[in-house]
Structure 1
Amino acid sequence: MAALPPARTPSWNSADEAKEVIVDGLEKGSPPESLRDIKTSVWTRVFVGDASQDKETKRAMQSRHMIMIAIGGTIGTGIFLSAGSAVALAGPGSALLSYFVVGVFCYGVVISLGEMASYIPVTGSFAVFGSRFVSPALGFTLGWNYWLQWSLSIPSELTAAAVILQYWDSNITPWQWALIIIAPIFVMQLIHVRVYGESEYWFAMIKVVMIIVFIFVGLIYDWGGVRGHPGPGRSNFQNGQAFIGGFGNFAQTFVYAFYSYGGVELVTLAAGESASPHKTVPRAVRATFYRIIVFYILTILTIGLCINNADPTLLTAAYDSSVAASPLTVVFQRAGFGAAAHVVNAVLLTAVLSATNSCFYASSRMLLSLARQGHAPRIFGWVNSRGVPVPALMLSLAVSFLTFLTTIWGEGVVFSWLVNLTGISSLLVWGTIGIISLRFRAAWKAQGRPIGDLPYTQPLFPILPLVAIILALAMLIAQGYAAVVETPFDPKNIVATYIGVAVYVLCYVGWWAYEFFWLKKRQHFVPLMDVDLDTDAVWGPGEGLRLRQEEQEALEKRDAQDIADGKRSRVWARQAARFVI
């Protein structure tokens, strides 16, 4: 591959440089007529919209979009179908402890990342931070691993949606349903980022309401509050049923817990397209705490209280994608709500559509970031006048089609191995974010900057990033242990577990070799004093305290004006929102 010149973030590109960006295969000396023909084509006008590298994504997502994406944006089949498997495998106590440990891991990652993303809100988030704060090789590795992770998730989400729809109509085959579903999702992505934010807001709202209702109904049923349907009370946690199978089974539950929590970092990826990111990103990452407590800890507790670990439905839902056997459906039906299967199925469909929507968004924005950094062909850095990275979206769609076709033509062996390649990718990404956070703070201190200049400061530093690193290593070992003790033993399980690690290492070493032997760069890590903390920052050095004070004064003036106008309830609502989030 020809050497790419060192790329820079969008705000570094001047108009003159943007004019020099030419699609691969077109040289600078190409006739201008050919470019004019391209600009006037139907494809360009309808889909691309005059895309070029000098255009930027739009900051169109509001605070409510970011908060709802943080709270429920990536809640999917992991909590609706697979969560019960952890209870069946190791008992409700082990499952609860597993979800708590992964919740701490998740919290450490999101809070550490939120500190950096609120100050430097760029598309690409941690991949950009890895290049800036540690080394370009790390940014290249994180970016491509993350892009593969989300691109290869699209076919699995489409398959899940097809299975859900077959519950109502089995005459149409799964792959036909998948093709029907992908069209509107892709078109929504092409319109504007505001469409993604708005659709995710309502998708997430539906899921959040469903889970809250489930927790209330489940706990009332468990406590015997439903007439004619006596609940089990605390019996499922008694007589040695809380912890079964020892440490081996407990270690295996991390797989289910981690799968349920996947995608929580997406809110920081969206920081590059949010309005007032120095305010919206901190609110969104703080909302993660409520997501962990309510939507994971309380949900797994409710499942464990209401359904015995020996109940066969707990495993049926995970392996057969049976909505009738979903823990949520089972609890609703046992509490006397007979039509629960249809309701849960409808909500599950919105969850899968939301996940597919997020897959397209995350993969396209990460590829856009890679291209803007010089880690991918520059054509994928093109953005149209609506702020949509169309070439990056098209590649994500193409990859998803290629992998999905393997499930049609064969038994899906190729697809399964492709998914296994990136199955552990998110775990590696989370652990690496902890390293990047430590490096960011080290550079901040080395350059003599005050902590108060950050829009959001993570609590308990450096405990949270260190916890993220330690738990990432522990879970890597636990997943390997789970693959070894699984019966019957199969060496392929170990290979499938750790092949993602091999890809991660190959990406890192490959880019290092490219820089060392081709670009003749002998300095691998970015020196602390050379770490760029200014480009794309929400404000200049030393301006944070002053700007925040001005915003606070404006807010107090607004509250005083509302009180004077007799709108005291509006002021109370705003103050309550500030206290909670």
Structure 2
Amino acid sequence: MSQEKKLDYSIDQETQLESGEFHEQNSYVSQSDASPVEGTRWERFRDSFKRADTQDLDPNLTDAEKMAILTANAPLKRTLKSRHLQMIAIGGAIGTGLFVGSGKALATAGPAGILIGWALTGTMIYCMVMAMGELAVTFPIAGGFTTYASRFVDESFGFAFNTIYMLQWLVVLPLEIVAASITVNYWGTPDKYRDGFVALFYVVIVAINFFGVKGYGEAEFIFSFIKVITVIGYIILGVILVCGGGPQGGYIGGRLWHNPGAFANGFKGVCSVFVTAAFSFAGSELVGLAAAETANPRKSLPSAAKQVFWRITLFYILALLMVGLLVPYTSDRLIGQSSVDAAASPFVISIQNAGIKGLPSVINVVILIAVLSVGNSAVFACSRSMAALANQGSLPKIFGYIDRTGRPLVGIIVTCVFGLLSFIAASPKEGEVFDWLLALSGLSSLFTWGGIMLCHIRVRRALAAQNRTTAELSFTAPTGVWGSVYGFVLIILILMAQFWIALFPIGDKPSASAFFEAYLSFPILIAFYIGHKIWKKNWKLFIRAKNIDIDTGRRETDIEALKQEIAEEKAFIASKPFYYRMYKFWC
């Protein structure tokens, strides 16, 4: 974008910031639309569904310039607060991957194998979230990281990356609703009530999301709080049981690491853990997607991003250490009937082995809450991704419909309609249908995280190419650009390991069906990428670093004033004692 055009839009944005309109509306609207709606409660409710007006764009702008401006000024509401982001960051990704999926991982890799797999994946997640935090604080735009790929890497890469991400969450909604109905079976609920529970969970998730981003934020705050308390409670209980303080007594210590052993299937077993570990971390990127709907991302996001270190260390590693000390990997109960079979949860098994009554049902309730939390996040993520894709010209414009209360209405409706697939839960073909739906987006979290780190690398390269420095960034990733390089390489290695496991499954013969169920999303990603190249006749591999737009979408438009403010903040922190500096670095 030319400097003149950037200046015009920056001045327009700055004027609105000063007047307060941009902060409240986050869109270019007429004065009449910005004022409170008069009339009865019914009229206000009815008018809230009307489309929010946006600025008419200069027809001479290129598609890339239009996309940058539309996503920077989407009329989403900025009502998420720091407490919402903190809890989404700490507990948002805790779900069935940890509570149930870790059981299958324990059976195939052993207690040392799961610790290695989760720890290595955790280092990559930490680098990814730090990179995403840097980008999201600097560019808190609609679609977040789904928009960065098209702006900072290449339009075709962005299309493939975003479409796979959207499909992931589109498929997850019906999967999680059915999973919630299966979870209820733990208490021996008759199958004839299955569709009734599906309908109940469906209505709850849809209702939450029609309250807008405030509804999503409050629901996730409550869900995440419950999950965090449960994991902390389990770790404390685990320490007591390992030390012999349970009802049955007897010191356990590291006995199970010697018999049956620390590793189940050697190196191949460890490789099999990576995808399960990645699944358990899925959703870690949602903090970045919520940046455009956060009141003050510059203050809230860095702290929320840093919480990921504590989540990985305390919740995943310590909880899995306890699981490995309390449950032998040879236990037949670790292989359940489904991915949400609470009876196969190593958390439940360890408590039952200790002879504790009642607590297994509590864990199952938390698993149910975790499933609903993921379904809630699915509607949020998918609807925002659809709106961003529409702004990028990759979906029909109607998908970019955002109403006056800041809801991407069409995206929410389409996601919820697709969620009606959950009512095939009673069908005998249910398992087969959902296996292939899941295969469509099976590796999408890995693609997403790799894309985020590649965007971070490209933005740092653009700063250098345009003779600019990180001094103008409100928040810089503590891991730096090399952290993103490390994370990106690790993801490539994980994809290679998954290819090996998909081709030669542990304990089974190679089959085309098993391979494509595990790896189908990769050829689909390539097909989207090449298809977009042909459709748009876009033959470049990357947007050149000197041409990358690193200005549109910033909330702070006076770069020199921002640099001075950042320098003052750094000087203030440097003047504080060592313990305070360490706290600010990690928290």
Which bracket does the TM-score occupy, shorter chain normalised? 0.7 to 0.9
Which residue is equivalent to 2:482?
Answer: 463
Structure 2 equivalent of residue 226 of structure 1 = 246
| 1:341-395 C-alpha deviation (Å, 9 max, x unpaired) | 2211211111111111101100011111111221211111111111111101011
Tell me the equivalent position of 2:51.
51
Query: 1:120 is aligned with what amino acid?
Result: F
Asked if 1:385 corresponds to 2:404, the answer is: yes
Verify the 8 A CA contact 2:168 2:444 in the aligned structure 1: yes
Q: Does 1:309 align with 2:329?
A: yes
Distance in 2 (alpha carbons) for counterparts of 1:363 and 1:423: 16
Q: Give distance in 2, aligned partners of 1:579 and 1:436.
A: 23
Residue of structure 1 in register with 2:229 after alignment: 209
Compute the displacement of 1:319 (Å): 3.5
Q: What corresponds to 2:22 in structure 1?
A: none
Q: Which residue of 2 aligns with 1:509?
A: 530
Q: Is the 8 A contact 2:282 2:445 kept in 1?
A: yes
> CA offsets, 1:385-443, max 9 Å, x none?
11111101011112222x43554444132332121011111112222222221111000
Q: Does 1:411 align with 2:429?
A: yes
What corresponds to 2:545 in structure 1?
A: 528
Say whether the 8 Å CA contact 2:129–2:284 is kept in structure 1: yes
Match in the other structure for 2:85 = 66
Q: Deviations for 1:496-516, whole angstroms, at most 9, x for unmatched residues?
A: 222211111111111111211
Q: Which amino acid aligns with 2:236?
A: F
Cα drift, residue 211 of structure 1: 0.2
One-letter code aligned to 1:510? G
Structure 1 counterpart of 2:349: 330
1:143 to 155, 162, 185: 162
Query: Quick check: 1:251–1:479 contact (8 Å CA) kept in 2?
Result: yes
2-structure distance, mates of 1:82, 1:320: 6
Deviations 1:304-355 (A, max 9, x none): 0111111222223x74733244222222334443101221121111111111
Displacement, 1:106?
Answer: 1.1
Q: Is the 8 A contact 2:91 2:311 kept in 1?
A: yes
Return closer, same or farther for 1:197/1:574 CA change in 2, 3 Å cut-off: farther
Q: Is the 8 A contact 1:381 1:389 kept in 2?
A: yes
1:462-481 equivalences under 5 Å are 462-481=481-500
Q: Contact (CA 8 Å) 2:130, 2:479: kept in 1 or not?
A: no
- Establish whether residue 362 from structure 1 lines up as the match of residue 409 from structure 2: no
Q: Distance in 2 between matches of 1:277 and 1:376?
A: 28
Per-residue CA deviations over 1:123-152 (Å, capped at 9, x if unaligned) read 212221111111111221121111100010
State the Cα deviation string for residues 533-555 of structure 1 (Å, max 9, x = none): 11111323333232346778999
What letter corresponds to residue 525 of structure 1 in structure 2? Answer: F
Equivalent residue, structure 2, for 1:132: 151
State the secondary structure of the residue aligned to 1:542: helix
Query: Does the CA-based 8 Å contact 2:260-2:329 persist in structure 1?
Result: no
Distance 1:162 1:577 in 2: 43
Q: Do the aligned partners of residues 44 and 74 (structure 1) sit closer, same or farther apart at CA in structure 2, a change above 3 Å counting?
A: farther
Q: What are the equivalent positions in structure 2 for 1:2-401 lying under 5 Å apart?
A: 46=46, 49-52=49-52, 54=54, 56-168=75-187, 170-171=189-190, 172-226=192-246, 228-238=248-258, 241-316=261-336, 319=338, 321-401=340-420
> Letter of the aligned partner of 1:511 in structure 2?
H
Distance 1:417 1:43 in 2: 45
The answer on whether the counterparts of 2:142 and 2:384 sit within 8 Å (CA) in structure 1 is: yes
SS at match of 1:426: helix
**In structure 2, distance between residues paired with 1:83 and 1:199:** 25
C-alpha distance 47-349 of structure 1, shift in aligned 2 (>3 A) = farther
The amino acid of 2:225's aligned partner reads M
Residue of structure 1 equivalent to 2:441:
422
Change (3 A) 1:48 1:377: farther
- Pick closer, same or farther for the CA change 1:258–1:187 going to 2, 3 Å: same
Q: Which amino acid aligns with 1:527?
A: R
Question: What is the DSSP-based 3-state SS (H/G/I as helix, E as strand, rest coil) of the residue aligned with 1:124?
Answer: coil
| TM-score normalised by structure 1 residue count | 0.84
Q: CA deviation at 1:105?
A: 1.6
Given residue 529 of structure 1, which amino acid in structure 2 is its aligned partner? Answer: K
Deviation at 1:446, TM superposition (A): 1.1
Whole-angstrom distance in 2 between the partners of 1:464 and 1:551: 24
Pairwise CA RMSD of aligned residues? 2.9
Single out whichever of 403-412 and 162-171 deviates more from structure 2: 403-412
Letter in 2 for 1:539: E
Quote the Cα distance in structure 2 between the aligned partners of 1:320 and 1:531: 43
State percent identity of aligned pairs: 31
* Counterparts in 2 of 1:270 and 1:234: CA distance versus 1, 3 Å: same
Q: Relative to structure 1, is the Cα distance of residues 391 and 314 closer, same or farther in structure 2, using a 3 angstrom cutoff?
A: same
Partner Cα separation in structure 2 for residue 47 and residue 73 of structure 1: 33
CA distance in 1, matches of 2:561, 2:157: 30
The AA in structure 1 aligned to 2:564 is R
Q: Which amino acid aligns with 2:201?
A: I
Q: Which moved more, 1:267-276 or 1:447-456?
A: 447-456
What TM-score do the two structures reach when normalised by structure 2? 0.83
The 1:506/1:230 distance shift into structure 2, 3 A limit, reads same
Distance, in Å, in 1 between the alignment partners of 2:541 and 2:327 is 54
For the structure 1 residues 554 and 579, does the alpha-carbon distance in structure 2 shift closer, same or farther, using more than 3 Å as the test?
closer
Separation (CA, whole Å) in 2 of partners of 1:239 and 1:325: 21
CA contact (8 A) 1:218 1:335 kept: no
Cα deviation digits, residues 24-68 of structure 1 (max 9, x gap): xxxxxxxxxxxxxxxx9x999559611246261111111111011
Q: 1:235 is matched by which residue type in structure 2?
A: R
Structure-2 separation of matches of 1:369 and 1:130: 11
List gaps (5 residues or longer) in structure 1.
Answer: 1-7, 16-39, 560-572
1:493 maps to a residue whose letter is A
Residue matched to 2:556: 539
Q: Which residue in the other structure is 1:491 paired with?
A: 512
AA of the residue aligned to 2:282: G
> Given the superposition, is the C-alpha separation of residues 399 and 95 from structure 1 closer, same or farther in structure 2, using an over 3 Å criterion?
same
